[in-house]
Amino acid sequence: MDLEEFSRKLSDILSAAESEVRSAESSSLADLRAKFLGRKGEMTKMMKHLASLPQDMRPQAGKLANETKKKIESLFSGVVAPQKKSYEKFDPTLPGRKPIVGGIHPLEWTLRRIVDIFYGMGFSVASGPEMETEYYNFDALNTPEDHPARDIQDTFYLERKGWLLRTQTSPVQIRVMESQKPPVKIIAPGRCYRRDAIDSTHYYTFTQVEGLYVDRDVTLADLKGVLTAFAKQFIGENVRVRFRPHFFPFTEPSVEYDFSCPVCDGKGCRVCKGTGWLEISGAGMVDPEVFKAAGYDPDEVQGYAFGMGVERIAMVKFGIDDIRLLYENDLAFLEQF
Ligand code: PHE
């Protein structure tokens, strides 16, 4: 092949490329590109022919070949570019995309509301560790070794001897009284753990809000007053509170307290299982033994304590019938709040 033939071949390829690209469907452009510019394409063949040309012609032939290759490349970019632009057209009349916004978890909502109400009644917020010692969780709370609450079945004991996951927020009572002089007026919200069999009303972890008020001349009537005020703010003006006798090692006397069912207003319905009342939790007057353990003089002070179950309150508030829903992070459930 001489230079003349080489350059004729190049212009044949170029004009073939021009007419084929012009009439091509956009879907076949990739094939055409391979045909002319690909590794086994026309231009690659021409580059190989270069070697068979006489030495002195090669620079000029090489230059011609490169120019042709550039022209063919520009044919393709010319065709593809305007199409790409039409994809990128911005249509300002389309509706906007809604950003995903998170919400507050119903349990957290309930907890914050409870804390808020007691804060408004002059309680400050205290806290204690979830990994506790047997001393704070049981001994100091007048719970002797052989009390059923200490049974291995109820408590998660930790490997380290004398340690456990707290079964209640009551140990915070002791920690607070150890660290400050009376009067004391605190609530202590937090996580607790028990080895309960899991079902629609029991879970291995749950949330309590502990309350403790210690001063001179504190009576059971004060306890009833503060819990009634709480119930009115949380549920509404018409709610009633009732106490039933009970036993806790760390209070004497002890009560369990109920709120009248807000769903049926005490008439009896599915939520309150026909009783008209909802069990909220335990309470009572601080046992003198507890004051002694914490270093307070039981002849000088009295106090009341209460501990309420937050899940129970959240379930009533939001009409949730299975406690597990509060812990399983199912988005279909959570997105309703
Ligand atoms: N700690 C008790 C419980 O978990 C509740 C309670 C708290 C009772 C304070 C009396 C006083 O059941």
**Mean pLDDT computed over 229-256:** 94
pLDDT for the residue 81:
47
Specify the fold of 106-334: BirA Bifunctional Protein; domain 2 (3.30.930)
pLDDT exceeds 90 at position 52: no
Return the minimum-mean-pLDDT range out of 1-10, 61-70, 75-84: 75-84
pLDDT for the residue 93:
86
Q: What is the DSSP annotation of 109-154?
A: HHHHHHHHHHHHTTPEE----SEEEHHHHTGGGT--TT-GGGSTTT
Instruction: Compute, in angstroms, the gap from residue 309 CA to the centroid of ligand 1.
Output: 9
**Mean pLDDT computed over 83-89:** 60
Whether 282 lines ligand 1, by a CB cut-off of 6 Å, is yes
Which has more pLDDT, 153 or 223? 223
**Mean pLDDT computed over 100-107:** 90
pLDDT band at 88 (very low <50, low <70, confident <90, very high): low
Whether 260 lines ligand 1, by a CB cut-off of 6 Å, is no
CB 153 within 8 A of CB 266: no
Angle (CA) 208 211 216, round 5°: 165
| Beta pairing, strands 124-125 & 184-193 | parallel
pLDDT exceeds 90 at position 217: yes
Return the minimum-mean-pLDDT range out of 82-91, 202-211, 321-330: 82-91
Residue 196 burial (CB < 10 Å; 0-12/13-18/19+)?
A: middle
Instruction: Compute, in angstroms, the gap from residue 217 CA to the centroid of ligand 1.
Output: 22
Nearest to 21 by CA among 85, 75, 73: 75
Taking the CA atoms of 213, 194, 151 and 128 in sequence, report the sign of the dihedral they define: negative
Instruction: Compute, in angstroms, the gap from residue 161 CA to the centroid of ligand 1.
Output: 25
pLDDT for the residue 166:
97
pLDDT exceeds 60 at position 291: yes
Domain ranges of the chain: 3-77, 106-334
Nearest to 281 by CA among 303, 248, 252: 248
Q: Measure the CA–CA gap between 1 and 50, rounded to whole angstroms.
A: 9
pLDDT band at 213 (very low <50, low <70, confident <90, very high): very high
**Mean pLDDT computed over 292-299:** 97
pTM: 0.71
Instruction: Compute, in angstroms, the gap from residue 90 CA to the centroid of ligand 1.
Output: 63
pLDDT for the residue 83:
53
3-state DSSP call for residue 271? Answer: coil
Whether 248 lines ligand 1, by a CB cut-off of 6 Å, is yes
pLDDT exceeds 90 at position 51: no
